[in-house]
A and B are shown apart, each in its own frame.
Chain A
């Protein structure tokens, strides 16, 4: 049984947003960069938004530091911009856009904000989606390629609108807002009167002073709540819109393919448009007719007969490779048996990491089935 083949060039020529997701260590950032480069060289104005790329890959795209502004990538036969997400600056920009300067400064100075915007897990996912919304809104690019953080929670943004709504309308926020509305000091009185048991429990657990700090923080952000919700909803709608395509990236290994299954199922649940699966680092052999077992047996015969040590070594190298190729094929078949309609494309394993445009071009060509990027005139 074989899976339908993912038509990468068709996706690159038609999508407006391409989201790459997958677990860590599968070459997701390289895939995102290769796809973006290929799209640009096929004539689309493209921007790639990366998150924490390896240093040398970043350099290959002319990115030297976290920089929230897309910059043209030199050496591309077309129009390609690239940027690395600066999550703190993205968060700061949202605050600035939604509050007057004095209040914004108060928010920036709040220790809760500093922690939230720079060091807490989870913020990255939300900010990546926020940035996507911003890039889209400019209308500058035909295609936006987004790399997502290498965790399962990369898909947490799918729940964001619902969670935010539940939270913002919930009692928790009303309780945290109560003291600020009552004028600071009256905290315990107001809150205790209104919420009794719950507040006393909360005070006991968090501590009165910290609760007051937190309360001030929530109050400072309150004016932005409506904005948060709207943006989360807008991003969610954007991801579901016809011009969006998700690409799940994996390596031909048990764990990575299991994570890929999770992503595929999760996207289906949310009715997000899945283009297909990219399997990176696939080992192939051009001499599959010589199986691993036969090659190993032949090597042993040479050892026994005192034959060529070199040839025995080469046969063992081949046996390893052929064995890996068979195992990887089996794992992929299992994935496709569970997800028979998901189109798949393979990329051959490379000896080293990719860190220049030519390397990205090669990966891009492999993704598209070995074709050069140029669109026939």
Chain B
């Protein structure tokens, strides 16, 4: 049984450099497997999803990017604020994107104002699109079984998700108020979870801990913690301790190298011992990170550091691991 059976909107955030786009894509594949339909949304205009799935830049159109194991489709959309605004006007006010009214708005600079200059509007449009995709239905059925969002980084994610709350505080009545309240209602509902991606390094771990507190303070539901790029210790605990202490047996290493057919000069042995000490401090650092994350008491998932940069094959591998660990 998966850990989030009733969740339809999975928001994936993480500190920059932790691989949140990769994790979001792997999660979308995992959720789609076995014949489900999942939409992967990108909101920061970097076209990271297209790069990951090795497709041309995504147009403003929900387009199939991958088939999941056992059937199931992943669609992707890079949300563009301007298109989202025109969409929204079309949906709620029946303004055709090429009609007179839309043209008037554009000419007056209102579209540009709303999407680039007016701070916050952009996030309103993006979160609105997330909600729309999550609740969209056709013939009494949801169009997507799940929506996965590659969200802004942890430093910004609470502000991003809470934008509608801010806006509904500004508009006391009227359509914007209603729209914002609708978005917040979905984001705060049991249908939504915000997952955080981290590395076992000091700053990403700290940011994850901070983000959980921040999200809880504004009543947004935190889901799991995905620990990415985990490395397996390559030395035994005793050897790791000796490596840090600088007490590894030089002559044993030297003899071992000769046995292995590697020319064992003093310099090489020195380099290997130094590299082992680095490895040991890295392992110790990861352990401290794990301890700090355990304190959050959230479901947690670990993904290994892949030997090569993540490609489509790597994504399938990661998605299988997420399924095996129960995230999807």
A interface residues, Cβ below 8 angstroms from B? 23-26, 52, 54-55, 111-112, 115-116, 119-123, 150-152, 163-164, 166-167, 170-172, 175, 195, 197-198, 201-202, 204-210, 213, 251, 253-256, 258-259, 285-287, 290, 294-295, 298-299, 301-302, 305, 307-318, 320-321, 323, 327, 351-353
Q: Which of A287, A308, A351 contacts B285 (CB 8 A)?
A: A351
Known: A255-B48, A286-B274. A121 touches B122 (CB 8 A): yes
218-272 of chain B: CB within 8 A of chain A: 231, 234-236, 239, 248-249, 252-253, 255-257, 259-262, 267-268, 271-272
- Bound form: Cα–Cα A256–B110 in Å: 34
Chain A residues with Cβ under 8 A from B234's Cβ? 313, 316-317, 320
Least Cβ distance of B304 to chain A in Å?
12
Chain A residues with Cβ under 8 A from B322's Cβ? none
Contacts A23-B17, A172-B113, A253-B17 supplied; 7 other A-B pairs, CB < 8 Å: A119-B166, A122-B120, A298-B260, A298-B261, A313-B236, A318-B272, A320-B231
Known: A166-B112, A167-B117, A310-B235. A115 touches B166 (CB 8 A): yes
Q: Which of B45, B113, B123, B249 contacts A310 (CB 8 A)?
A: B249
Per-residue CB contact flags for chain B residues 273-314 toward chain A (1 = under 8 Å, else 0) read: 111101101100100000000000000000000011100000
Chain B residues with Cβ under 8 A from A287's Cβ? 267-268, 271-272, 275
Least Cβ distance of B115 to chain A in Å?
11
Cβ B17 vs Cβ A26 within 8 A: yes
Q: Which of B17, B48, B256, B275 contacts A285 (CB 8 A)?
A: B275
- Bound form: Cα–Cα A301–B259 in Å: 9
Least Cβ distance of B120 to chain A in Å?
4
Interface bin, chain B:
35 or more
Q: Which of A112, A116, A254, A317 contacts B275 (CB 8 A)?
A: A317
B36 at interface (Cβ–Cβ under 8 A)? no
Kindly report which residue of chain B lies nearest to residue A289, judged by CB atoms: B268
Known: A313-B235, A351-B285. A116 touches B119 (CB 8 A): yes
Least Cβ distance of A31 to chain B in Å?
14
Q: Which of B202, B259, B272 contacts A314 (CB 8 A)?
A: B272
Cβ A207 vs Cβ B176 within 8 A: yes
Least Cβ distance of B169 to chain A in Å?
6
Kindly report which residue of chain B lies nearest to residue A351, judged by CB atoms: B281
Cβ A210 vs Cβ B16 within 8 A: no
Chain B residues with Cβ under 8 A from A301's Cβ? 259-261
Chain B residues with Cβ under 8 A from A290's Cβ? 262, 268
Chain B residues with Cβ under 8 A from A166's Cβ? 109, 112
Per-residue CB contact flags for chain B residues 3-30 toward chain A (1 = under 8 Å, else 0) read: 0000000000001111001000000000
Cβ A201 vs Cβ B17 within 8 A: no
B62 at interface (Cβ–Cβ under 8 A)? no
Cβ B176 vs Cβ A210 within 8 A: yes
* CB within 8 Å: A-B pair count: 231
Known: A25-B18, A298-B261, A311-B256. A210 touches B174 (CB 8 A): yes
B213 at interface (Cβ–Cβ under 8 A)? no
Kindly report which residue of chain B lies nearest to residue A160, judged by CB atoms: B117
- Bound form: Cα–Cα A254–B104 in Å: 43
Least Cβ distance of B51 to chain A in Å?
8
- Bound form: Cα–Cα A214–B23 in Å: 40
Kindly report which residue of chain B lies nearest to residue A125, judged by CB atoms: B119
Cβ A310 vs Cβ B285 within 8 A: no
Chain A residues with Cβ under 8 A from B123's Cβ? 120-121
Cβ B169 vs Cβ A167 within 8 A: no
Cβ B252 vs Cβ A310 within 8 A: yes
Least Cβ distance of A13 to chain B in Å?
31
Cβ B122 vs Cβ A55 within 8 A: no
Cβ B272 vs Cβ A317 within 8 A: yes
- One of B72-80, B135-143, B151-159, B183-191 at the interface: B151-159
B67 at interface (Cβ–Cβ under 8 A)? no
Cβ B256 vs Cβ A310 within 8 A: yes
Least Cβ distance of A355 to chain B in Å?
9
Kindly report which residue of chain B lies nearest to residue A355, judged by CB atoms: B202
Least Cβ distance of B296 to chain A in Å?
18
Can you report 5 residue pairs joining A to B where beta carbons are below 8 Å apart?
A: A115-B120, A119-B120, A171-B108, A295-B262, A308-B252
Cβ B44 vs Cβ A152 within 8 A: yes
Cβ A26 vs Cβ B16 within 8 A: yes
B83 at interface (Cβ–Cβ under 8 A)? no
Chain A residues with Cβ under 8 A from B51's Cβ? 258
Cβ B174 vs Cβ A314 within 8 A: no
Chain B residues with Cβ under 8 A from A122's Cβ? 119-120, 122
95-152 of chain B: CB within 8 A of chain A: 95, 100-101, 104-105, 107-110, 112-113, 116-117, 119-120, 122-123, 152
Cβ B175 vs Cβ A207 within 8 A: yes
Cβ A205 vs Cβ B93 within 8 A: yes
Chain A residues with Cβ under 8 A from B101's Cβ? 197-198, 201
B173 at interface (Cβ–Cβ under 8 A)? yes
- Bound form: Cα–Cα A111–B234 in Å: 57
Cβ B156 vs Cβ A121 within 8 A: yes
Least Cβ distance of B260 to chain A in Å?
4
Cβ B104 vs Cβ A201 within 8 A: yes
Cβ A314 vs Cβ B156 within 8 A: no
Kindly report which residue of chain B lies nearest to residue A30, judged by CB atoms: B203
Chain A residues with Cβ under 8 A from B236's Cβ? 309, 313
Least Cβ distance of B251 to chain A in Å?
11
